[in-house]
Amino acid sequence: MPKSIIINKHGGPEVLQLSDTKVTSPGPNEIRIKNLAIGLNFIDTYHRSGLYPLKLPSGLGMEGAGVVEEIGSDVKSFSIGDNIAYASPPLGSYSDERNIPADIAVKIPDGISHKISASIMTKGLTVHYLLFKTYKVSAGETILFHAAAGGVGQIFCQWAKSLGCKVIGTVGSESKIETAKKNGCDFVINYNKESFDKKVLEITNNKGLSVVYDGVGKETFEKSINCLKPRGMMVSFGNSSGALEPINVKKFIAAKSLFFTRPGLTHYAAERSELEDGASLLFDAVKFGKIKVKIFKEYSLSDTRKAHEDLGARKIIGPALLIPNE
């Protein structure tokens, strides 16, 4: 019988339960897929812990890649045997098999594996909207990205560099500096060793930046604001160090007429055309070598607790996967 990870209550990795799952025939607009690789993302820990509360019991995970095994009666865009990837709710990608709405899936181009696809969909589509939609970067522009050695950072820094940007990246330890440099950073700052805002102002000759991309959150917010020039944009797209406190608009935003945004993939891939366009650009960037993906680690589905322990301890440097049990 197919297996899946279920949580019956919010909490630490110990609440993750590997359970038998009955997968029915897909509904009219659904496809039944066999997952061959499952993306592991930090947001999964927010769902598990209750930072982003779920209706329980619940599955977990939004990203995966696999093969279509059955199609619903109204599905016209997919056929049995198609290789597909997805990165959207409903939750439940931590599973051997499942039904998903057909309109959240995209076909995987020839030459790109299921493992690569599952490792880049959430992170890569996030980078796509950050670079091309939330704040459209320009060649020659200097930008700051936090957690430059992580899974999103690996893709972001390479893609930004291919667009002609000068990338300043931060990391949380000395051991991650070389990784960030390999990812394409022109400058790397260990924010636990030196004040990254002072270093950024030094790099920019006290001019500051037009944009900061921050997926770390609580630990980096205030100094990120210090890095921005007047009318700059603070892009807060994650909170791996903890959720932001309520923002003092007068102190942090109005003082320099800044823009603040908290974007999410759900809103940037809400239309089918947006999802297809983003996925197409992402897959092309991989095929043409603009993004080179190195999978950091693979865990079996039965080792999901260990994977979440490593996520929480920030031991995962780069994309990681869950592999369904054979």
Domain match, 203 and 92 both: no
87-291-260-315 Cα dihedral, nearest 10 degrees: 70
How many domains are there within the chain?
Answer: 2
Which tokens hold the place of 221? 């917010």
Whether residue 126 is contained in a domain is answered as: no
Domain match, 112 and 145 both: no
Measured CA to CA, the distance from residue 52 to residue 243 in angstroms comes to 11
Among 219, 241, 263, where does a domain finish?
263
The CATH number that applies at residue 59 is 3.90.180.10
Chain segment 22-67, per-residue pLDDT in tens: 999 999 999 999 999 999 998 899 999 998 999 999 999 999 999 9
Asked if pLDDT for residue 326 goes beyond 60, the answer is no
> Which amino acid would we find at residue 255?
A
Domain match, 151 and 103 both: no
Domain match, 259 and 309 both: no
Domain match, 10 and 61 both: yes
Residue 23 to residues 43, 251, 292, Cα–Cα distance (Å): 25, 52, 35
Among 263, 281, 303, where does a domain finish?
263
Whether residue 284 is contained in a domain is answered as: no
pLDDT band at 316 (very low <50, low <70, confident <90, very high): confident
Whether residue 277 is contained in a domain is answered as: no
Whether residue 273 is contained in a domain is answered as: no
What is the value of pTM for the model shown?
Answer: 0.89
Whether residue 42 is contained in a domain is answered as: yes
pLDDT band at 173 (very low <50, low <70, confident <90, very high): confident
First to last CA, the chain: 11
Contact yes or no for 13/312 (Cβ under 8 A): yes
pLDDT band at 239 (very low <50, low <70, confident <90, very high): low
Which one, of 21, 197, 184, lies nearest residue 92 by Cα?
21
Domain match, 22 and 81 both: yes
Contact yes or no for 320/299 (Cβ under 8 A): yes
pLDDT band at 240 (very low <50, low <70, confident <90, very high): low
Domain match, 111 and 161 both: no
pLDDT band at 177 (very low <50, low <70, confident <90, very high): very high
Which tokens hold the place of 47? 């769902």
Domain match, 319 and 244 both: no
Contact yes or no for 22/1 (Cβ under 8 A): yes
Domain match, 17 and 113 both: yes
Measured CA to CA, the distance from residue 186 to residue 143 in angstroms comes to 10
Domain match, 31 and 68 both: yes
Which one, of 188, 233, 171, lies nearest residue 208 by Cα?
233
What is the model's pLDDT at position 243? 67
Whether residue 49 is contained in a domain is answered as: yes
Chain segment 273-311, per-residue pLDDT in tens: 999 999 999 999 999 999 999 898 999 999 999 999 999
Asked if pLDDT for residue 245 goes beyond 90, the answer is no
Task: Residue 146: give the domain boundaries.
Answer: 139-263
Q: What is the mean pLDDT of residues 219-242?
A: 88
The CATH number that applies at residue 171 is 3.40.50.720
Which DSSP helix (H) or strand (E) runs through 145?
strand 142-145
Chain segment 75-92, per-residue pLDDT in tens: 999 999 999 999 999 999
Name the 3-class secondary structure at 211: strand
Q: What percentage of the chain reaches a pLDDT higher than 70?
A: 98
Measured CA to CA, the distance from residue 194 to residue 233 in angstroms comes to 23
Domain match, 143 and 250 both: yes
Chain segment 181-200, per-residue pLDDT in tens: 998 999 999 988 999 999 99
